[in-house]
Structure 1
Amino acid sequence: MDAMRKQLDVLMGANRNGDVREVNRKYFDRDVCRLFLAGLCPHDLFQLTKMDLGPCPKVHSLQLRKDYEEVKAKGTENFDRELEDMIDRLIVECERKIQRALKRLADEDAKAAIAISVSEVTQSEEVAQLSKEIKEKMKEADIFDFEGKTDDKIKTMELVEELRSKRADLQATLLLDAFNKDRAAIPQPIPPPQMATLPAPPPPDARTQELINEKLSKAEALGEQGMVEEAQKALEEAEALKKLAAARQEPVADPSKYSVADVRITDQKLRLCDICGAFLSVYDNDRRLADHFGGKLHLGYMLIREKLKELQVLNVMSHFLL
């Protein structure tokens, strides 16, 4: 209910019920969210993820943001520093999570995982253009929101989702290309001479494949929660199921019984996204990678990193003008 109330306040104004106290509210009041006025409130970023902060306890108002932007343009107020401090804290915690994960994996296998620069690998002119279009459409949505044009805002946000999906697919393709090169560099065991002429192993039966998919999904969820050992174990169990199913001529009777104890896998080659800290694997397919890029956690951290760069540029410009 609190979240719905907040959305209605932003859309229709905090005074939608005729409360006189709300009419007299000013942008500098203590119960107004300064981070929202400055452009980004963390409570809006990670809804329904493990980073969900719940609804913001302070007022979000587009009218008050407009009032603030007017006085900011005159040099009277500037809440950018508060927003930059908040973003710094979130990014520092994310970087710590990445380093903790790398250290824990290195203790088990020094080559088990590395942090990959997703922001560099997945950058292209087309991705940059899509990101620019998304920003422009988000600004349009805010204008429609402020003007009370709900239908236009909804249509614009639907277009934003389409653009995000297209960008995620493109980023997934770029990262998959990098992973394919990475996979090609992984040494593969040479089969014994007597095994060289054997036919290809049969694919897993439907039930086994379903369990493999479940364990892969579980590994991804655990990885996003920072549970490194558990994620590694789930990935190993999935690989163990694949090998055990391939080694048998008939379907595995009860594949859920098999675990890492049956087949020990040491070459999972995990990668940690340098934007959000989530686990990726060089064996992920394009669909799983696209889901990662379109996820709220990744999008949220991408937004705050972009906002930080923007604030830093503005800060340098302001010092230069002074």
Structure 2
Amino acid sequence: MAAAAAAALLDELMGRNRNVLPNEKPKELNWEDPEFCKLYLVKFCPHDLFVNTRADLGVCARVHDDEARELFEKAPYSYRKQQYEDEFIRFCQSMLSEVERKIVKGKQRLALIGKTEAPTLSPAQTQKNEEQIALLTEKINKLVEEAEQSGIQGNVEQAQGLMRLCDQLKEERETLRKSNDNSHYNQTAELAAAQEKQMEVCDVCGAFLIVGDAQQRIDDHLMGKQHVGYARLKSALQEITAKREKARDEKEQRREEERKRARGDDDRRKRDDRDRRDRDRGDRDRDRERHRDRDHDKDREREKDKRRRRDDDKRHDSMVVGADQETSMIVTRTTTKSIVIKTEVITTIVQALTIKIANDTDPEVEVASNYS
């Protein structure tokens, strides 16, 4: 311990690389090196809080380096840093549990001092207390074994809980023993002096205080290392706990926001799918409507073609009939003209014959002459 303190002092005065030769490369600083005090890196080292007090923890065996702590604070939060914080929390809880037991015992002693006389116990009650003490001792031993097993298995929190329960049973057993032994008549000199004045126990450090004492003495107590040290332990523990709860709440809030976003994305995808299906259905309906319109147009075109063909046929038939009628008229006119010509020829011939007969001339010559 003395060598470690001397080494720490030399490191503080001459630097960490005091033993490095000129031709050697200094070791790069890393806050994870085991030489550094984990508690000091997290907040502070409790060994520095109670120097020269009744709660003095001695000199810390690790190095307290401000540069390493600065690197620790700048490093991103990780599982390794969480382990350091867990160790700091366990150490603080251990010391606070110890001072809490001290406070409870101090209040119990003051309560015993306040009684005018010791309670008178019957032999039966004394025997009953002895049996209860034996049962408590058996329970305490079992709890200690369970705590050791939990510690070996790595269940630190469970082991601490068992030890706290064990401490409560020990206090109960101690109370029964004092009741049987009338121990409230054998107080320490400090508590005996408290009989002359009304005393109280400090709820922070467990020290005995005189009620209504001078303000200067009260201020001296409040500014003392022991009171300030335990108050700082409680404050640091509450700060780390609050920070973790805040981080946990923020993480849960981020998860809730992510879940809401996921639900919103799902709803949006469902709406998009529904809209896409509606659009597809509308497109199919429009396609079917266009197909029906095209079919109707085709039917109308076919109907128009039919009507047009019928009209063409009618016009053709009319033209044919007209042509036939015209042809008939032409034929009739031609026939009539031929008949007229023939009639005229015949008339001419008859006239010529008549004249010939009358003139006794050659009829064929005259007829030919007249005809030409």
TM-score normalised by structure 1 residue count = 0.49
**Normalized per residue, which structure has more helix?**
2
The structure with higher relative contact order (CA 8 Å, sep 6+) is 1
TM-score normalised by structure 2 residue count = 0.43
Q: Specify the structure having the higher radius of gyration (Cα).
A: 2
